[in-house]
Amino acid sequence: MSRTFTRRKFLETSVLAAAGVSSPLWQSGARAQVSSPAPAAPLPAIAPGPFHGSRESLSAYHMPDWFADAKLGMWNHWGPQSAAEYGDWYARRMYVQGEPQYQHHLEHYGHPSKTGFVDVIKSWKADKFDADYLMGLYKKAGAKYYVAMGCHHDNFDMWNSKYQPRWNAAASGPKKDILGLFGKAARQQGLRFGVSEHLSNSFCWFGTAHGSDKTGPLAGVPYDGTDPQYADLYHDYSQMPGDFVQKVVNAPAKGAIAMSREGPDSWRINYFNRILDVVNQHQPDLLYTDGGIPFGDDGLAIVAHLYNTSLSHHGGKVEAIYTSKSRPDAESGMCMLDVERGVVDGIWPRAWQTDTCIGNWHYDTRASYKTPKRVIDMLVDIVSRNGNLLLNFPLPNSGMPDDKELAILESITAWMAVNSDGIHATRPYKIFGAGPGAEIKPGNAQFNESNRQDLTADDVRFTTKGNALFAFVMGWPRQQAVIPSLATNAKQGVGRIQNVELLGAGKMKFKQDDNTLTVQLPERQPSEHAIAFKIMGA
């Protein structure tokens, strides 16, 4: 089973759990045993305002214009799991005998019954971390917003957390309020600031830390996740039914399959408090959740708190965005659709977002990265479909991007310096584009990017701004660009074109007839990868 499939399966079951649908983990009847028989404990009050924890109330939400204008955001998956520099889900996989992360941990830290994830946290130094430097790079590359990882499935908060007092970045590891430093630097650079939270799945995700080796000299010796002194990190399973514990401990070694957002009321309340805490401390302009809205009405209350808090800080306007990977959540209008490593089919009626990574989510010394062309192809394609690209650059232990990452950023920067007029503050055209790479199978867009090929000079993508139409030709044609979609008899009703400018090169000679628009090209390509024509009079 591939890791891509594992991650996809994990997301699907998270969305099902958020919608109240039983996942395969609970089909044996364990679900009823896990849920508390007592009435649900009360949660703290959310910020006062017009929004309440109901879908009806949240359906009155209107997405702020800044997001539809932004088009490009940057993101860093960075936290204690980055210390090992050995890939995503390290904190889970280091407790799965046979996984590469388990072997790496043996060789570099020791056996997880004696040196566990708590020791990985201690090794996270962040000794070259410079939030101002990073924000400068991202702004220069054309990013209009920045998202910092607030907490991953590893139950570790990246801010000075009131409700996770031992296991947060201000108290452990680098002993700095990483989120606060990121937020200050982003806003000083004029970037909108977002926070991602991946916390709601943590209670089951960390089950492997409560297991032991199945074979070998230490078979049966419990991992350090069972140590009561670390229950606030690995979760306290002492009051959970035995069959539940066995299910989460022995989930398939290739990844967390059939995980859900279940747990005792104490976990639900802890989650609720921590997400409200990060909103109250940092007032994010965007709050990303890894899946659908979790925990039913309690999750809806978090969304309401985010919007009411934003309203109180922005003179009566809601400037905040909440993301969900559930289409029903987004289609209701109460939040924004996020598509992980994928692209929607056609033009989505409201602004949406792809979140993806140049390599693996967390830093991995073994990883290969997307080429700059692949990144630019994705950006233009997504923007043409009314979307934004949120691009993750995983940071190593030190907090400083590696040379290959910096080179990719330099390529994006150079391309945006020429072509950003056709990206920022644009809106979709009547069609998003045409060519051999245009079609995407309808259905769930999550994780479909791996099926895409590099776009070529035969592919074109469109955006608009005011009276201008931008046509991106996704490669460098020989001598002339041919765009049949802009013929005078094109079915979308183009009209008579009066002027064509190639961004970075100036006015171009062109001919428009019933069959095509043909543009003569200069000798030199003004920028690598896609080129952009600014067209007037259409």
CA proximity to 138, closest of 192, 180, 60: 192
CA distance 507 to 528: 19
Q: Which residues 6+ apart lie within 8 Å of 344 measured at CB?
A: 337, 352, 385, 387, 440, 445
The residue length of the chain stands at 538
Instruction: Give the pLDDT confidence score for residue 2 in this predicted structure.
Output: 36
Q: According to CATH, what is the number of the domain 433-536? A: 2.60.40.1180
Alpha helices by DSSP H, 155-221: 178-188, 202-205
Q: How far is CA 278 from CA 157, 201, 238, 242, 447, in A?
A: 9, 17, 28, 34, 28
What is the C-alpha separation between 525 and 477, in angstroms, rounded?
10
The CATH number given to 3-396 is 3.20.20.80
Q: What is the pLDDT of residue 36?
A: 33
Segments making up each domain of the chain, as ranges? 3-396, 433-536
Task: Please give the chain's pLDDT, 538 residues, in tens.
Answer: 333 334 444 343 333 333 333 332 222 222 223 333 334 456 778 999 999 999 999 999 999 999 999 999 999 999 999 999 999 999 999 999 999 999 999 999 999 999 999 999 999 999 999 999 999 999 999 999 999 999 999 999 999 999 999 999 999 999 999 999 999 999 999 999 999 999 998 999 999 999 999 999 999 999 999 999 999 999 999 988 888 888 889 876 444 544 556 778 899 999 999 999 999 999 999 999 999 999 999 999 999 999 999 999 999 999 999 999 999 999 999 999 999 999 998 999 999 999 999 999 999 999 999 999 999 999 999 999 999 999 999 999 999 999 999 999 999 999 999 999 999 999 999 999 999 877 766 556 665 677 778 899 999 999 999 999 999 999 999 889 999 999 998 877 778 999 999 999 999 999 999 999 999 999 999 999 999 999 998 5
CA atoms of 389 and 380, how far apart (whole Å): 9
| CA 279 and chain centroid, separation | 18
Tokens matching residue 10? 């994990």
**Are 304 and 312 in contact, with CB atoms under 8 Å apart?**
no
Is 391:357 a contact under the CB 8 Å cutoff?
Answer: yes
CB 57 within 8 A of CB 304: yes
- What DSSP designation does 470 have? E
pTM here? 0.91
Q: Which residues make Cβ contacts (< 8 Å) with residue 213, sequence separation at least 6?
A: 97, 113, 219, 220, 221
Residue 332 CB neighbour total at 10 angstroms = 15
Q: Give the C-alpha separation, 200 to 324, whole Å.
A: 13
Q: Residue-wise over 314-323: b if at least 16 C-beta within 10 A, else e?
A: eeeebbbbbb
Q: What is the pLDDT of residue 538?
A: 58
What six digits make up the tokens of 236?
A: 């306290």
What are the Cα distances from residue 380, in Å, to 3, 525, 526?
28, 18, 17
